[in-house]
Amino acid sequence: MSNNLKVLKFPNPRLRKIAEKVTKFDKSLKKLAHDMLELMYDENGIGLAATQVDKHIRLIVIDVSDERNAPQYFVNPTFEILNTDLMYAFEEGCLSVPGFNEEITRPSNIILKWQDLDGVAHKEEPSGLLTVCIQHEIDHLDGKLMVDYISPIKRDRIKKKLLKK
């Protein structure tokens, strides 16, 4: 059980809220991060943004390892695109859009800046699945969803199916 946290599902309008920057690196931040990680593992996800659990702060948890034993926490993440010509298409899923996968094209070379749970700043060029996942999750913090990249017709079809559940 993940401490009362639940994943909001598209088209819940709360997924559209813009998350606030984290300024206090206290125990409650660490607790939320660990609860989010537990929920993400329970639901077989590789990434989860605080927005998805109705907490509107700039916090993301990710684990792209096969063994599910390499959690990464990103606070106040931002990225710069290194080369706008290099794009990568990947079949993405989302815990807020369960049961649907869509091919999304995103920049493949980025520089990522973030803080850890203690507020220490980091800067790195991510590789592989992390590059895709962190961009997907930063979108959540800005109220943006995977379905915003597909055609309105497809998006509407997904919306109707999820509302019927």
Residues noted as catalytic: 137
From the list 16-24, 50-58, 85-93, 152-160, the region that binds ligand QAP by CB under 6 A is: 85-93
CA angle 79, 8, 99 (to 5 degrees): 90
CA gap 45, 30 in Å, rounded = 19
CA gap 151, 127 in Å, rounded = 28
Structure tokens at 20: 């606030």
Asked if 133 is part of the footprint of ligand QAP (rule: CB under 6 A), the reply reads yes
Structure tokens at 122: 């980091």
Cβ nearer to ligand QAP, comparing 25 with 90:
90
Are 19 and 141 in contact, with CB atoms under 8 Å apart?
yes
Residue whose CB is nearest to ligand QAP in the complex, by number: 45
Nearest distance, CB of residue 24 and ligand QAP, angstroms: 27
CA gap 21, 86 in Å, rounded = 29
CA gap 80, 93 in Å, rounded = 23
Structure tokens at 24: 């206090």
Residue 155 binding partner per list ligand QAP, Co ion, none, with a CB distance cut-off of 5 to 8 Å that depends on partner kind: none
Asked if 95 is part of the footprint of ligand QAP (rule: CB under 6 A), the reply reads yes
- Binding test (CB under 6 A) with ligand QAP, winner from 19, 60, 94, 141: 94
How many Cβ atoms from other residues are within 10 Å of residue 121's Cβ? Answer: 10
From the list 18-26, 41-49, 107-115, 155-163, the region that binds ligand QAP by CB under 6 A is: 41-49
Listed residue (90, 86, 102) closest to 146, CA to CA: 102
User: How many positions of this chain bind ligand QAP (CB under 6 A)?
Assistant: 15
Nearest distance, CB of residue 101 and ligand QAP, angstroms: 7
The site string for ligand QAP over 134-153 (x = CB under 6 A, - otherwise) reads --x-----------------
Asked if 93 is part of the footprint of ligand QAP (rule: CB under 6 A), the reply reads yes
Query: Applying CB under 6 A, which residues contact ligand QAP?
Result: 43-47, 90, 92-95, 98-99, 132-133, 136
